[in-house]
Amino acid sequence: MRKSRLWWVASAVLTLGHFPAYADMIAKSSDGSLELTLPNGWHDVKPDGPTTKIAATNGHGSRVVVRVYPKEDFKDAKAVANFSITKLKLSDDEGVKFEDVQVGGKSAVRASVLGTQASGMRAGYLVTVVDNENMYVEVMGRTDASSFAKETPALIAFGSALKAATTPAASAAPSAAAASPAAKPKN
């Protein structure tokens, strides 16, 4: 009897030692101005471009990026969302759905769209743009179209999982006009 208890305890210890501890992790922008809590299974990846501060993936086709835009480049958060959706160049989008929301007590706009990317892949995008005092913070989630309905709650949660420090507008990001000569300020 004693040996069997000892065997069960040893088995439990060894078994638990083989499973990683699951906990949310925090992805931080390189300048420390933004933090995004990533749920289990997600990990941060290298951000692309000057306005992208944080990028993460779940390893199964879903991705989230956090970008910042100076307020002087856009008239409001909806203009930022429109700009972001237009940049996607979806060939057959099913119409963009907008809603006004609150994220962390701040006004925000959420836009969702399904469409076909230039690569031919159908994808769903959820864009949340938060009006953060001196900048607009965009949280864009993408997943394949067949997973979009299932992944939408997780993509929505990223907007609430974002923590932004108040930073001077100049350090937030280069203006869209400076970053791209073809960009149209005051969308």
- As beta bridge partners, residue 27 has 36
Confidence of residue 49 (pLDDT cuts 50, 70, 90): confident
pLDDT tens digits along 132-157: 888 999 999 999 999 999 999 999 99
Structural domains of the chain in order of their starting residue, each with its CATH number: 22-179 (3.40.1000.10)
CA-CA distance, 183 to 172, in Å (whole number)? 18
Confidence of residue 165 (pLDDT cuts 50, 70, 90): low
CA-CA distance, 69 to 34, in Å (whole number)? 13
Distance of CA 163 to the CA centre of its chain: 12
Distance of CA 167 to the CA centre of its chain: 20
